């Protein structure tokens, strides 16, 4: 687990609901159970400040804290919708299509493509991308890349399931969910009493969320009606929900203890 990725997990899963800010000392304590050393945490915080995800905020008698930027809040809120599937299950049958201007530089093109895939888009052909719904971040992503795009909503008049299979490799995604479930069961086997040890519960839940969060890069959040009847993601999601909820109270106590000011003042 890399420090930068773990910080995104931490802010999204715990700190976002606590004001979205924390001092470096607390961040170091919170990432230590994950095997991440203090220098790596400090380096990752500095990098996230440079990239516009965090900003230093000074508070009287509290020292500098690192707060989420508006951009980071939008990213984490969107990620939470996809991780915990809080978006309404309904779908109006329309796809969001983007036709982007060409990007000549390879590095810039790869960065844009990775960003679009994270937001749930898949390439249909050439510079044409498709997603099951518009992303609130796509305009900012395109502007940052200096890319123009024509954008519109359209319906597939014949077979939307076939279009989904054409755009996304659902067989590979289903296999990834089966692998995740097997690994998660191995991780959590015999941990029924882990919630009694706050730090252990926090570390286990953090690893569970971290591995589940990786599906943000591969799963576009297709409507259930477009997925196979025996979709492996359903069982994986049920397992994640059950055990993330089981470990949450103890993990929350550990986070609160790490965020408490020294001496309880």
Residue 88, in any domain of the structure: no
Which pair of structure tokens corresponds to residue 70?
């508006």
With a pLDDT cut of 70, the percent of the chain lying above it is 94
Across the beta sheet with 122-125, what order do the strands follow? 122-125, 128-131, 94-100, 149-155
Each residue of 214-264: pLDDT tens digit?
998 899 888 888 999 999 999 999 999 999 999 999 999 999 999 987 665
The answer to whether residue 10 sits within a structural domain is yes
In a domain, 175, yes or no: yes
151 & 175 share domain: no
Q: Do 151 and 98 touch, CB atoms closer than 8 A?
A: yes
Domain end residue (candidates: 106, 128, 155): 155
The 10s digit of each residue's pLDDT in 168-178 is: 999 999 999 99
The Cα–Cα gap between 32 and 180 comes to 24
Whole-number Å distance between alpha carbons of 87 and 220: 13
Q: Say if residue 181 is in the same domain as residue 248.
A: yes
The values of phi and psi at residue 155, to 5°, are: -110, 145
Residues 260, 174, single domain; the answer is: yes
- Pairing relationship of beta strands 63-68 and 54-59 according to DSSP bridges: antiparallel
Cα 50 to Cα 44: distance, rounded to the nearest angstrom: 10
- Contact between 38 and 28 under an 8 Å Cβ cutoff? The reply is yes
- Based on the domain organization, do 33 and 112 belong to the same domain? no
Q: What percent of the chain has pLDDT above 90?
A: 65
Tens digit of each residue's pLDDT (9 = 90 or more) over 176-201: 999 999 999 999 987 777 667 999 99
User: What is the span of the domain harbouring residue 260?
Assistant: 170-264
Task: Round the CA-based radius of gyration of the chain to a whole number and report it.
Answer: 20
- For residue 265, the model assigns a pLDDT of 46
103 and 66 within one domain: no
CATH code of the domain covering residue 100: 3.30.70
Q: Any alpha helices (H) in 123-231, and if so which ranges?
A: 138-145, 160-167, 170-188, 198-213
Report if residue 100 sits inside a domain: yes
Answer whether residue 118 shows pLDDT above 80.
Answer: yes
Contact (CB, 8 A) for 216 and 79: yes
* Residues 53 and 110 grouped into a single domain: no
Q: Cα–Cα distance between 190 and 256 in angstroms, integer?
A: 26
d(CA 26, CA 112): 34
Q: Tens digits of per-residue pLDDT, 39-65? A: 999 999 999 999 999 999 986 565 789
How many other β-carbons are positioned within 10 Å of the β-carbon of residue 51?
A: 12
| 82 belongs to a structural domain | no
Q: Among the three residues 155, 187, 204, which one is the final residue of a domain in this structure?
A: 155
In terms of domains, do 259 and 178 share one? yes
12 domain-assigned: yes
Same domain for 183 and 103? no
> Domains in the chain: how many in total?
3
The answer on 198 and 251 residing in a single domain is yes
Residue 258 lies in a domain: yes
Residue 131: name the closest of 84, 171, 99 by CA. 99
| CATH code assigned at 28 | 1.10.10.10
3-state secondary structure of 40: helix
Same domain for 60 and 100?
Answer: no
Going by C-alpha positions, the residue among 3, 13, 35 that lies closest to residue 83 is: 13
Mean pLDDT across 70-75: 90
Q: Which residue has the higher pLDDT, 136 or 251?
A: 251
* Residues 188 and 140 occupy one common structural domain: no
d(CA 69, CA 100): 27
CA separation for the pair 9, 231 (Å, rounded): 26
Residues 196 and 222 in one domain: yes
165: in domain: no
Residue among 219, 224, 215 at smallest CA distance from 91: 224
Both tokens of residue 235? Answer: 């069982």
């Amino acid at each position: 687990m890399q420090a930068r990725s773990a910080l995104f997990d931490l802010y999204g899963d715990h700190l976002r609901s606590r004001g979205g800010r924390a001092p470096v000392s607390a961040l170091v304590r919170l990432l230590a159970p994950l095997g991440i050393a203090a220098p790596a945490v400090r380096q990752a915080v500095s990098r996230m400040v440079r990239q516009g995800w965090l900003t230093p905020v000074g508070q009287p008698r509290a020292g500098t804290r690192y707060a989420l930027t508006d951009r980071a809040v939008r990213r984490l809120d969107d990620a939470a919708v996809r991780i915990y599937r809080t978006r309404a299950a309904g779908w109006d049958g329309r796809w969001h299509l983007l036709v982007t201007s060409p990007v000549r530089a390879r590095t810039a093109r790869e960065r844009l493509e990775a960003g679009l895939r994270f937001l749930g888009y898949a390439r249909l052909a050439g510079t044409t991308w498709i997603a099951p719904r518009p992303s609130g971040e796509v305009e900012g992503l395109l502007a940052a890349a200096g890319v123009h795009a024509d954008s519109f909503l359209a319906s597939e008049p014949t077979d939307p399931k076939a279009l989904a299979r054409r755009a996304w490799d659902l067989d590979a995604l289903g296999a990834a969910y089966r692998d995740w479930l097997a690994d998660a069961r191995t991780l959590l086997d015999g941990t029924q009493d882990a919630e009694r040890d706050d730090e252990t519960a926090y570390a286990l839940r953090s690893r569970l969320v971290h591995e589940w969060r990786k599906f943000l890069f591969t799963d576009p959040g297709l409507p259930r009606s477009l997925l196979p009847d025996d979709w492996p993601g359903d069982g994986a999601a049920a397992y994640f929900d059950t055990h993330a909820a089981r470990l949450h109270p103890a993990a929350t106590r550990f986070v609160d203890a790490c965020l408490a000011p020294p001496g309880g003042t």
